Amino acid sequence: MTLPTGRDVLAYLHDLFESTKLENYEERGHVTHMKKYLNYVGVGIDPEAGFLHAMRRATTAAEYFRICTEFLDHDEPMPLEPFDLKLGERDIVAGVMR
């Protein structure tokens, strides 16, 4: 089995962004909507949760794509299982609150 690379995931997140745009696209609202998907994908991107931390602050498509590129523009294989992220008391990731 071939594992997806960072660039494979990057391409997926670009496609996801485009394919989930509503007809009455509003940039900030769409970026906020994308964060819901990223809670699931993001736990497998980096063990320090830097991707999720940065993405939570993104408000524009340019920021969304810059962060995705920063963390995923590589040919290294990506894990199939999420990292065991160190979450604070009030952090919510992928529907789990600690």
Q: Which residue has the higher pLDDT, 66 or 86?
A: 66
pLDDT digits (tens, 9 = 90+) for 33-59: 999 899 888 888 998 889 999 999 999
When pLDDT is cut at 50, 70 and 90, the band that residue 98 belongs to is very low
pLDDT digits (tens, 9 = 90+) for 82-94: 777 666 666 655 5
With the CA atoms of 53, 59, 64 and 70 taken in that order, what torsion angle do they form, in degrees rounded to the nearest 10?
-50
- Best CA proximity match to 50, nearest among 30, 22, 72: 72
CA 9, 16, 86 angle in degrees (round to 5)?
A: 55
